[in-house]
Amino acid sequence: MVQHSAAAELNQSELLDQSLKGEESMEDYLKIANSGTAWVLCAITVAIAFIQALLYMRMARKTATKIHLPEEIPNKAFRIGLISAIGPAMGVFIVMVGLMAAIGGPMSWTRLSIIGAAPTELTAATYGAQASGVELGGAGYTLTAMAASWFAMALNGAGWLMVTGLFTPGLEKLRDKMSGGDTLWLAVLSGACSLGIFGYLNVNEICKGWGNALAVIAGPLSMIILVKLVVPKVPKLMEYTLGIAMIIGMFFAVLYDLSVA
Same domain, 1 and 120: yes
Same domain, 90 and 115: yes
CA 191 to chain centre: 23
Same domain, 151 and 257: no
Tens digit of each residue's pLDDT (9 = 90 or more) over 102-147? 888 898 888 888 876 777 788 888 888 889 888 887 788 888 888 8
Look up the domain containing 94 and give its range. Answer: 1-179
Please determine, for residue 24, whether its predicted confidence score (pLDDT) is greater than 50.
no
Helix (H) / strand (E) containing 97: helix 86-103
Same domain, 173 and 192: no
Same domain, 246 and 161: no
Q: What is the pTM of this model?
A: 0.60
pLDDT category, 22, cuts 50, 70, 90? very low
- Closest to 131 measured CA to CA, from 116, 117, 151: 151
Beta strand ranges found along the chain (DSSP E): none
pLDDT category, 9, cuts 50, 70, 90? very low
Same domain, 201 and 77: no
Same domain, 199 and 91: no
Same domain, 240 and 166: no
Q: What does the pLDDT read at residue 32?
A: 87
Domain-terminating residue out of 179, 208, 237: 179
**Which of the given ranges, 112-116, 147-151, 161-165, 167-171, has the highest pLDDT on average?**
147-151
- Closest to 111 measured CA to CA, from 161, 166, 55, 56: 161
Q: What does the pLDDT read at residue 27?
A: 58
Domain-terminating residue out of 179, 194, 217: 179
Q: What does the pLDDT read at residue 116?
A: 67
Cα angle 78, 81, 87; round to 5 = 150
- Cβ atoms of 152 and 128 closer than 8 Å: yes
If one counts the domains in the chain, the total is 2
Same domain, 167 and 188: no
Tens digit of each residue's pLDDT (9 = 90 or more) over 27-83? 578 888 899 999 999 999 899 989 998 998 899 889 888 888 888 888 888 887 887
- 27-45 b/e with 16+ CB inside 10 Å = b? eebbeebeeeebeeebeeb
Round to the nearest angstrom and report the end-to-end CA distance of the chain: 49
Q: What gap in Å lies between CA 103 and CA 24, rounded to an integer?
A: 16
Phi-psi region of 140 (alpha: psi -120 to 50; beta: other; left: phi over 0): left
Domain-terminating residue out of 163, 179, 195: 179
Same domain, 222 and 131: no
pLDDT category, 20, cuts 50, 70, 90? very low
Same domain, 161 and 204: no
Same domain, 54 and 150: yes
